[in-house]
Amino acid sequence: MKKTVITFGLLILSLLVLFQISKYAFVSGDLKIELVIAIVAIVFFIIGVYLNKRSLHQERLPEREIDLTKVKALDLSDREYEVLKEISLGLSNKEIGDKLFLSESTIKTHVSNILLKLNAKRRTQAIQIAKEMHIL
Amino acid sequence: MKKTVITFGLLILSLLVLFQISKYAFVSGDLKIELVIAIVAIVFFIIGVYLNKRSLHQERLPEREIDLTKVKALDLSDREYEVLKEISLGLSNKEIGDKLFLSESTIKTHVSNILLKLNAKRRTQAIQIAKEMHIL
DNA sequence: ATCCGTCTCATACTAAAGTACCAAAATGAC
DNA sequence: GTCATTTTGGTACTTTAGTATGAGACGGAT
């Protein structure tokens, strides 16, 4: 909300400044009126694009872009997060072990810890929870 | 590509039109120069917002909605698809059975058929495959 | 040096998941 | 009505998944 007020304030301010410049240019005759209008047009075009991108970017953030901050907040270790990603790819414990050059026992330990930390009962639920938190 | 050319053509055209209007207004003295600049600013601001929204909208399209056509193509029956959705929510066979008022045996049968039709070895893999096909 | 956290692995166990095979009831098409 | 498909459910069995517990190795912090 504060940012919106600030940006719109700056927008109005720049508009007034352009008014003054144009008036001065008109009186002094240094600048041609076409040039002033062209500059105004370009500047406001860019402002429009920029503001729009900002607002749309905020809308899009919820979808996509993994939030690694939350991984730390959940106390998930590097290995655990790595295993979590493999789980979401649909691999079995055995397959994950082979892929990461670890024993199945190790993967089971990691999986158990993941389920505890994500508060999930099953690996499928862990996937769902992780995706909801934008960790995957 | 064609649309881009057309929109930029119209953009340049409107710029020229505004030049003419401003020049005419300047000569005739009907319009104040501030007003002309303000109109130019507003118009190009709107154009900027509009063009940006259009281009960003196209980027977002690829993440589309569920494709029910492919559900049929995979030979998934209504019940099977329903069970598949519950699996992706992380529910166990027992829980799915309770939710849909069916026995666990029935769910197991459905799950086995789903795995066959999706060519998956595990339910986690089925989730991954289904999401890749935009079925979930 | 000691403590802490992570990573590793093992054994033993329980609980789900998944397969195979069968079969009855319901549904809709012909 | 007959036929094919779907839906439902069961038994018996194998395979994964997940829990509990313990323990050695290793690196970083105090």
pLDDT per position as a tens digit, B48-64: 777 766 666 655 545 55
Question: What pLDDT, on the 0 to 100 scale, is given for residue B97?
Answer: 97
Q: Which of B19, B49, B88 to mutate to test the interface with A (most CBs of A within 10 A)?
A: B49
Query: Measured in Å, how far apart are chain A's first and last C-alpha atoms?
Result: 30
Put simply, the answer to whether B41 touches A18 (Cβ < 8 Å) is yes
pLDDT value at position A69?
A: 80
Across the interface, whether the CB atoms of A90 and B51 are under 8 A apart is answered: no
pLDDT at A61: 46
pLDDT tens sequence for chain A (136 residues): 555 556 566 666 766 766 665 566 555 655 666 676 677 777 777 777 777 666 666 554 455 577 778 778 788 999 999 999 999 999 999 999 999 999 999 999 999 999 999 999 999 999 999 999 998 8
Q: Which of B34, B48, B121 sits opposite A48 (nearest CB)?
A: B48
The alpha-helical segments, DSSP class H, found in B29-118 are: 33-60, 68-73, 78-88, 93-100, 104-118
Q: What is the pLDDT of residues B20-43, one digit of tens each?
A: 655 665 555 556 666 666 777 777
- Chain B nearest-CA residue for A27: B33
Nearest CB neighbour to A37, from listed B37, B90, B127 = B37
Residue B48: per-residue pLDDT: 74
Q: Has residue B5 got a pLDDT over 90?
A: no
Band of pLDDT at residue B13, cut at 50, 70 and 90: confident
Say whether the CB atom of B73 is under 7 angstroms from strand D: no
In this predicted structure, what is the pLDDT of residue A90? 97
